[in-house]
């Protein structure tokens, strides 16, 4: 009968996905930093390669992980596109950086020609969001200028490198030493 069919279907569904589960798994915590997020995304990439998740499911999961660790970028930044330095000023207008030009008073650490590579991203917007995260996590970055350089890596594609810019040799070395001590990738350029 129809009632027996409904009862049987309800029993099967309740066994597979109970309306009142006996046990609930706690959701995984939000990624604790860029490296943790990268590990979670790599895990989902593996699932996609094994054809356990569809490309659409992968994209939604990746976007959710990225959204859990990032906030929209704001403020001024120094952007390096194709190796050419450009300064974004408060008005939102961009202009080339002149040789020997002083950095703004808001960036007292910007006194040299060295940069430090902090992280790499797949697009420039992610790199800008990465700066917001890293400068919030590591207070010494908050007062520094930053830049994004485009790098074409054979066999891997295009990456955007997040750089803290305008550092002296000693400032770049000491910054990298401190960041590495705290578990953050850092390389003087």
Q: State residue 7's pLDDT score.
A: 93
Strand residue runs (E) in 122-156: 145-153
pLDDT of residue 88: 37
Report residue 75 as tokens: 């403020």
Tens of pLDDT, residue by residue over 6-29, are: 999 999 988 888 877 777 777 677
With bands split at pLDDT 50, 70 and 90, how would you rate the model's confidence at 2? very high
pLDDT digits (tens, 9 = 90+) for 33-81: 777 788 888 888 888 899 888 999 888 888 888 777 744 333 444 444 4
Q: Which residues are CB-contacts of 40 (< 8 A; sequence separation ≥ 6)?
A: 28, 31, 65
Sign of the dihedral through C-alpha 61, 64, 65, 66 = positive
Mean pLDDT of 100-127: 67
What tokens appear for 145 in the block?
Answer: 């200028």
What's the whole-model pTM score? 0.46
Name the nearest CA neighbour of 35 among 5, 65, 3: 65
Q: What's the pLDDT band for 111 if we cut at 50, 70, 90?
A: low
Matching residue, tokens 């609930």: 24
């Amino acid at each position: 009968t129809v009632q027996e069919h409904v009862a049987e279907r309800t029993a099967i569904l309740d066994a597979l996905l109970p309306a009142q589960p006996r046990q609930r798994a706690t959701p995984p915590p939000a990624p604790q930093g860029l490296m943790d997020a990268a590990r979670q995304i790599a895990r989902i990439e593996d699932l996609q390669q094994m054809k356990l998740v569809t490309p659409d499911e992968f994209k939604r999961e990746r976007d959710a992980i990225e959204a859990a660790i990032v906030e929209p970028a704001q403020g001024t930044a120094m952007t390096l596109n194709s190796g050419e330095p450009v300064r974004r000023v408060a008005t939102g207008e961009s202009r080339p950086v002149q040789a020997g030009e002083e950095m703004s008073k808001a960036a007292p650490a910007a006194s040299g020609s060295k940069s430090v590579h902090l992280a790499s991203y797949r697009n420039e917007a992610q790199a800008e969001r990465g700066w917001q995260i890293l400068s919030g996590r590591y207070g010494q970055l908050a007062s520094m200028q930053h830049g994004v350089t485009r790098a074409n890596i054979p066999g891997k594609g295009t990456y955007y490198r997040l750089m803290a810019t305008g550092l002296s040799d000693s400032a770049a070395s000491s910054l990298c030493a401190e960041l590495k001590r705290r578990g953050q990738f850092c390389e003087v350029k």
